[in-house]
């Protein structure tokens, strides 16, 4: 006699919902048989034993998009009839684990081509650069060309905020200004000042704010001129890690972005 099992290992002759996952203290919608967690932010299906969509607020880009990662993306062939053991041999599992670990901690070697960002306010660059030079001359702002860890010492200054831009040629610039300054120089003018300093042009691939907290350096994708995607901030993270600076990216919520 042949037995038929579900992808989760249940024998179809037995009720599959005996051991279904439920949430204690959370309202269960009897009409749809779903849990609307976080006031409907994420929907969980006990029948499918998975969320119905990715976590858009995850710091890991499209977090939770692959709801079947526990079974290597294959809910049928990566489980034996009891639903607990993958068909992958221990040797294959060990190889996959080592490969994942090497990718997780590997440093980027060689140049990486990132998509250039567009300055959506290019027509105002001339007065912006003039304004930026005036602020720097008056001592209200400073610009740092970061080539090593020492260049990030400005992040430890009190009552200061910092913008950054990263060029395709891996030149990283930071502007430092008072946290009470409501009109700091723009990312576009910072990029132009960097071009003049180096006497060479290279497209901007990441722009945002940078700060340090508890020894960890964070970058975001907040820029009104470049409107970068969250993904672009990974270029800055890669550069900082290449100079041995622990860094992570933070997603800006509510910013209009062009992808």
Q: What is the pLDDT of residues 108-135, one digit of tens each?
A: 455 557 889 999 999 999 999 999 999 9
The Cβ-side half-sphere exposure at 20, using a 13 Å CA radius, reads: 16
Q: What is the pLDDT of residues 189-214, one digit of tens each?
A: 999 999 999 999 999 999 999 999 98
Query: Which positions ≥6 away from 51 have C-beta within 8 Å?
Result: 42, 43, 44, 45, 64, 67
Per residue in 15-65, pLDDT (tens digit) is: 545 556 677 777 788 888 888 877 777 788 887 777 777 676 666 555 555
Residue 214, helix vs strand vs coil = coil
Is the pTM higher than 0.85? The answer reads no
Write down the pLDDT at residue 97. 61
Mean pLDDT of the chain: 79
What is the C-alpha to C-alpha distance for residues 215 and 247, in angstroms, rounded to an integer?
9
Q: What is the pLDDT of residues 58-83, one digit of tens each?
A: 665 555 555 555 555 565 665 544 55
Which domains does the chain carry? 122-250 (3.50.20)
Q: Answer whether 220's CB lies under 8 Å from 233's CB.
A: yes
Residue 218 pLDDT: 95
Structural contact between residues 9 and 84, judged by C-beta atoms closer than 8 angstroms:
yes
Phi and psi based region of residue 92 (left: phi greater than 0; alpha: psi -120 to 50; beta: remaining): alpha
C-alpha to C-alpha distance for 193 and 26, rounded to whole angstroms: 54
Confidence of residue 252 (pLDDT cuts 50, 70, 90): confident
């Amino acid at each position: 006699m042949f037995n038929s099992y579900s992808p989760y290992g249940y024998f179809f002759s037995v009720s599959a919902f005996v051991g279904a996952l439920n949430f204690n203290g959370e309202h269960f919608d009897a009409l749809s048989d779903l849990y609307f967690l976080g006031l409907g932010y994420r929907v969980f299906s006990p029948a499918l034993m998975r969320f119905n969509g990715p976590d858009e607020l995850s710091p890991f880009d499209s977090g939770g998009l692959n709801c079947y990662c526990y079974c290597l993306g294959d809910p049928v062939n990566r489980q034996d009839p009891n639903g607990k053991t993958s068909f992958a041999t221990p040797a294959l599992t060990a190889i996959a684990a080592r490969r994942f670990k090497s990718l997780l901690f590997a440093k980027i070697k060689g140049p990486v081509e990132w998509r250039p960002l567009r300055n959506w306010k290019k027509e105002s660059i001339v007065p912006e650069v003039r304004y930026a030079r005036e602020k720097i001359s008056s001592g209200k702002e400073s610009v740092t060309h970061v080539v090593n860890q020492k260049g990030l010492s400005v992040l430890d200054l009190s009552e200061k905020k910092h913008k950054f831009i990263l060029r395709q040629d891996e030149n990283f610039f930071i502007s430092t200004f008072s946290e009470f300054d409501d009109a700091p120089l723009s990312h576009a003018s910072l990029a132009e000042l960097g071009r003049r300093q180096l006497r060479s042009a290279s497209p901007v691939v990441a722009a945002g704010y940078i700060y340090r907290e508890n020894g960890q350096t964070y970058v975001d994708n907040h820029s009104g001129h470049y409107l970068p995607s969250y993904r672009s901030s990974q270029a800055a993270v890669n550069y900082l890690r290449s100079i041995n600076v622990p860094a992570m990216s933070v997603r800006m919520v509510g910013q209009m972005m062009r992808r």
